[in-house]
Chains A and B, each alone.
Chain A
Amino acid sequence: MSYDVAIIGAGVTGAMIARELSRYNIKTALIERCSDMAMGTTKANSAIVHAGFDAVPGTLKAKLNVEGTSIMPELCSVLHVPFKPIGSYVVAFSKDEIEHLEKLKARGEENGVPGLRILNSDELHKEEPNLNEKAVAALFAPTAGIVCPYELTIATVENAVTNGVEFIRNFNVIAIDKNADGNFVLKSEDKTIEAEYVINAAGSFCDQVASLIGDDSITIIPRKGEYMLMDRAVGNKVSHVIFQCPSKMGKGILVTPTVDGNLLIGPSAIDIEEKDDCATTADGLDGVFKTALKSVPSLTTREIITSFAGIRAHSPTDDFIIESSSKDDKFINVAGIESPGLSSAPAIGVYVCNMVIEAMGGAEKNVDFVPGRPAPVRFREMNTEERKALIEKNNAYGRIICRCETITEGEIIDAIHAPAGAIDVDGVKRRTRAGMGRCQGGFCGSKVVEILARELGQELDEITKCGGESKILFGRTK
């Protein structure tokens, strides 16, 4: 197949670029090496929409963060993705740290962040009674918020696909050549596609992908961050995103509610060798928990539901790299997208789309472009009357599959048959929350496998957890 643009990497950045391009009559392929979108850096991060006071003024990070954060509420609204503008606090524990807050505030104001204010101890503890009493002040940023990064990415890809983008999974680009027409030829182990423009949005693999065209200018240092997710019972311990004063390695350990009502703590920050090493470590998790206690001393390990690790695609330039490759101006690198990458992604989408349109010398508008996606059914959030009407229309919504999260068979079927729908158990989990509750899929896991097999016309033992060799069953019993 031949495309105008091939985007390598279906993380939040690639997804946003794809959606922006789908506003035009441009044939776009969104290529992903994994079995689903949002499987790399996007999958596991702090899920924060940052206000934008961290980045150095004048950098792409500063510009795109503030722009992205301002786009986020409306974007989430049309895509039916939960976004909660709960605001953030950077907490100071000493006089020195208050000075640091002043610096952050000045920097934020220079970046154009609205509403920044330093709260004194009384105001702070009134707002956050569970905060460590030793906290003396905080920088309040009202525009910060929380969003689920994979939910945002899934919704964005669904919307892009509805508007004509092709989503190609399980395509690991191992070679990029040029054909006689001057187009790129992207090769995986068993498939080939052609494209006039290539956008390298490969996250922590951006350096490797760039080197496929001989561009060795990019260095990505994978930096692991470990997190712990805590039960809904403690989801309201804090009502804002709580940061500690940042260090060289990142924004430190935060404590935040999630859009689903849990509490998230993390991340650690460890530079690692392997770009997809998402293993948690006992020391890392221990450090996360102890440091989180500095913010909220009443947390206990009993409330931990699960822990996980994500990778930041850190670039030593300390800024986003968004530019045409020096080797080929039809190859655009979108690299080093680490924090505030999620917050910036909507703005990166617009920025990169404009670069492509400009390079193409303009493009026709897609008159059929639909900005939103239909609201997915969320049985658990409905009232009795809505539920009655829903089941009357389709009785698959009358069968609860995931007990802990109250997810119906109908919602799982919807997730499988959505544009760019789920093809494995984790794909269903990310789209519906089936298996994300207290029992972690103990009861519903096997039912989800059954539904996937039935809806996809496969055998039970062909269904995987997350693609590749992650099979769940090993054939029949004796």
Chain B
Amino acid sequence: MIKYDLAVIGGGPAGMAAALRARECGVEKIIVLERAETLGGILEQCIHTGFGLHYFKTELSGPEYAARFIELVEDSDIEVKIDTMVLSISDDNVVTAVNKTDGLLEIDATAVILAMGCRERPRGALNIAGTRCAGVLSAGTAQKYVNIDGYMPGKEVVILGSGDIGLIMARRMTLEGAKVKMVCELMPYSSGLTRNIVQCLDDFDIPLKLSTTVIDIHGKERLEGVTIAKVDDNRRPIPGTEEFVPCDTLMLSVGLIPENELSKNMGIEFDPVTNGPVVDELRETSHPGVFACGNVLHVHDLVDFVTKESQIAGEGAAKYILGGKTDKKYVKTKGINGVRYIVPQKIDLANEGDVELYFRVGDVHKNAKIIVTYNGQEIISRKRPRLAPGEMENVVIKNDMLKNFDENGIIEIQVED
């Protein structure tokens, strides 16, 4: 058993930013455990640009964005173990991990930061009928084959789901010489960023078919085609709208799920909407000394926000390590009337700064208002020209407001059209 002040699970953008900030705040013995062969997480395969506009005020590719943090980690005395998989975290924050060089590692950590990221929803979760041939894969897996391994996963492609990875891969496959026939989206709107729809589909004349889904998969050994159909308001296929589309590849970009198996096994409290832990403004979970940040907490649209959030978790962990456990009195947050969720789900009334609340809406709204209430009383109102489920929103709760709140009070955010 080795003693550390802080163990960070995951060396992607979230884990690195959290570890670095904790170090800056004075935490001395920090270890980052990363399951891949390099630090950087999923950014390493995101070779397109668009990262860092908010945080660095410049446009970077994924590997460039990651490299800025990798360099800082390498220049610090933060310890890193790559190719290392965490198997469990005990009730008293002992992290058990495994790799080829150390074998089984047991790390007794004062605090733990969960930064495991997310995974893609697989085909099985959609329950699409048809055969189980080769050629059906998630957009992220395809991205790894193309950008990391240098191999083409297909030539004639249909993409189901207009999440950002799907849109990015539509462009990437086209640039590599594949024919991307269409992107089908079950919903009447895309869940991807507007800039990605313009730059990845419109610029390459790739049709985006809204309210359309794949209902059948054909092909004995390799995929030979898919049947698509229009869906009604209840997202059920409309008989008579079926169309066969020949293709050798079906790429799925149908949502991301935070990877919380470790956290679930610890018995941490969960938010059923985010599929991530319930956290306070320092990103501390219901388990004392265990913090969460990045896509393991809730799926983000931009890595810049992941970095910001992870720095908060790094500070939180530092506070816990250096200052010890304190009794907290919470006011709760809740999304209602069109707001799907809010992170953090609770705020400690003794918190000394302003608190930013991040949230997502469930539908597209134009010229709408965001209303924040405390125990039913409006405290903030903001006009927004456009709100979309694909884009994360935020509002700031000023510290002087917080001072007037009581334990068990509730802050609610809603959309007003």
Beta-carbon contact of A391 and B103 below 8 Å:
yes
Please give, as numbers and ranges, the residues of chain B lying within 8 Å of A73 by CB-CB distance. none
Whether A474 contacts B122 by the Cβ 8 Å rule is no
Question: Complex Cα distance A398/B99, Å?
Answer: 5
Residues of B within 8 A of A439 (CB): 119-120, 122
Partner of B119, one of A228, A443, A468: A443
Q: Once the chains bind, are A279 and B131 in contact (CB under 8 Å)?
A: yes
Given A281-B129, A391-B98, A395-B103, CB of A442 within 8 Å of CB of B152: no
Give the contacting residue for A469; candidates B123, B218, B222; CB below 8 A.
Answer: B222
Q: Count chain A CB atoms within 10 A of each CB in B85, B100, B120, B215 and give the residue with the most.
A: B100
| Residue ID in chain B nearest A396 by CB atoms | B100
Binary per-residue interface labels of chain B (145-177) against chain A in the complex, 1 for a CB within 8 Å, 0 otherwise: 110011111110000000000000000000011
Residues A477 and B132 in contact in the complex (CB < 8 Å), given A384-B104, A400-B98: no
- Contact with A442, one of B87, B102, B141, B248 (Cβ below 8 angstroms): B141
Q: Are A466 and B98 in touch, CB under 8 angstroms? A: no
Q: Which residue of B lies closest to A400 (CB)?
A: B85
Contact assessment for A473 and B100 in the assembled complex, using a CB-CB cutoff below 8 Å: no
Mark contacts of A381-400 with chain B using CB atoms, 8 A cut-off: 1 yes-contact digit, 0 otherwise: 00010011001100110111
Does B367 have its Cβ within 8 Å of any Cβ on chain A? no
Please, how many angstroms separate the alpha-carbon atoms of A278 and B130 in the complex?
8
In the assembled complex, A80 has its CB within 8 A of some CB on chain B? no
Contact for A478 among B35, B119, B177, CB less than 8 A: B177
- B 218-257 contacts with A by CB, 8 A: 218, 220-222, 237, 248, 257
Using known A-B contacts A307-B127, A445-B141, A473-B153, determine if residue A465 contacts B103 with beta carbons closer than 8 Å.
no
Asked if A473 contacts B141 (CB within 8 A), the reply is no
Are the CB atoms of B83 and A306 closer together than 8 Å?
no
B124 at the A/B interface (Cβ < 8 Å)?
yes
Q: A445 to B124, Cβ gap below 8 A?
A: no
Query: Is the CB–CB distance between A279 and B87 below 8 Å?
Result: no
Q: Which residues of B contact A466 (CB under 8 A)?
A: 134, 221
| Contact call B149/A446, Cβ cutoff below 8 A | yes
The answer to whether B35 touches A400, judged by C-beta atoms less than 8 angstroms apart, is yes
Query: What are the residues of chain A within 8 A of B98 when measuring CB–CB?
Result: 387, 391, 398, 400
* A interface size (C-beta, 8 A): 55
CA distance A107 to B37 in the complex (A): 61
- A461 part of interface (Cβ distance < 8 Å): yes
Interface contact B145-A473, CB-CB below 8 Å: yes
- Smallest beta-carbon distance A83→chain B, Å: 26
Tell which of A276, A281, A391, A466 has the most Cβ of chain B within 10 Å: A391
Q: Is the CB of A304 within 8 A of B35?
A: no
Taking the complex as formed, is A476 at the interface, i.e. its CB lies under 8 A from any CB of chain B? yes
Answer yes or no: B138 CB below 8 A from chain A CBs: yes
Determine if B101 is an interface residue (Cβ-Cβ < 8 Å). Answer: yes
How distant is the Cα of A316 from the Cα of B210 in the complex, in angstroms?
48
Nearest residue (CB) in B for A226 is B129
B129 close to A285 (CB less than 8 A)? yes
Q: Within the complex, which residue of A304, A308, A446, A450 is in contact with B132, where a contact is CB–CB below 8 Å?
A: A308
Contacting residues, chain A, for B63 (C-beta < 8 A): none
* CB atoms of A388 and B103 under 8 A apart: yes
Contact string against B for A residues 267-292, beta-carbon threshold 8 Å, 1 for contact and 0 otherwise: 00000000010111110110000000
The reply to whether A473 and B221 form a contact with Cβ atoms under 8 Å apart is no
Cross-chain contact A392 with B103 (CB below 8 angstroms): yes
List residues of chain B with CB within 8 A of the CB of A276. Answer: 220
Q: State whether the Cβ of A464 lies closer than 8 Å to any Cβ in chain B.
A: yes
B133 interface contact, C-beta 8 A: yes
Partner of B134, one of A388, A398, A404, A470: A470
Whether A217 sits at the interface, judged by CB under 8 Å, is no
Task: Assess whether A403 is interfacial by the CB under 8 Å rule.
Answer: yes
B259 surroundings in chain A (CB, below 8 A): 403
Interface: A475 (CB within 8 A): yes
B42: min CB distance to chain A, Å: 10
A471 within 8 A of B: yes
Which residues, 85 to 141 on B, are CB-close (under 8 Å) to A? 85, 87, 96, 98-104, 119-120, 122-125, 127, 129-134, 137-138, 140-141
A431 to B132, CA, bound (A): 18
Q: Is B261 an interface residue, CB under 8 A from the partner?
A: yes
Query: B319 interface residue, CB < 8 Å from A?
Result: no
Q: Are B176 and A388 in contact (CB under 8 A)?
A: no
In the complex, what distance in Å separates the CA atom of A445 from the CA atom of B149? 13
A440 x B132 contact (CB < 8 A): no
The distance in angstroms between the C-alpha atoms of A472 and B146, with both chains bound, is 12
Q: Which residue of chain B has the shortest Cβ distance to A399 in the bound complex?
A: B100
Known: A391-B98, A442-B122. A398 touches B103 (CB 8 A): yes
In Å, the complex CA distance between A470 and B134 comes to 5
> In the complex the two chains form, is A473's CB within 8 Å of B151's CB?
yes
Which residues of B sit under 8 angstroms from A452, Cβ to Cβ?
Answer: none
Q: How far is the CA of A285 from the CA of B10 in the complex (A)?
A: 38
Q: A391-B103, A400-B98, A477-B150 are in contact. Are A442 and B134 (CB under 8 A)?
A: no
Contacts A/B (CB < 8 Å), 28 sampled: A279-B130, A279-B131, A284-B129, A387-B98, A388-B103, A391-B98, A391-B103, A396-B100, A399-B100, A400-B85, A403-B35, A438-B119, A438-B122, A439-B119, A439-B122, A441-B141, A442-B122, A442-B138, A446-B145, A450-B149, A461-B151, A464-B221, A466-B221, A469-B222, A474-B154, A475-B151, A476-B151, A478-B177
The 9 residue pairs across chains A and B that have the minimum distance between CB atoms: A306-B124, A440-B122, A465-B134, A400-B85, A470-B134, A470-B221, A469-B221, A391-B103, A398-B100
Given contacts A301-B127, A307-B127, A446-B149, 6 further A-B contacts (CB under 8 A): A228-B127, A307-B129, A396-B100, A442-B119, A446-B145, A477-B151
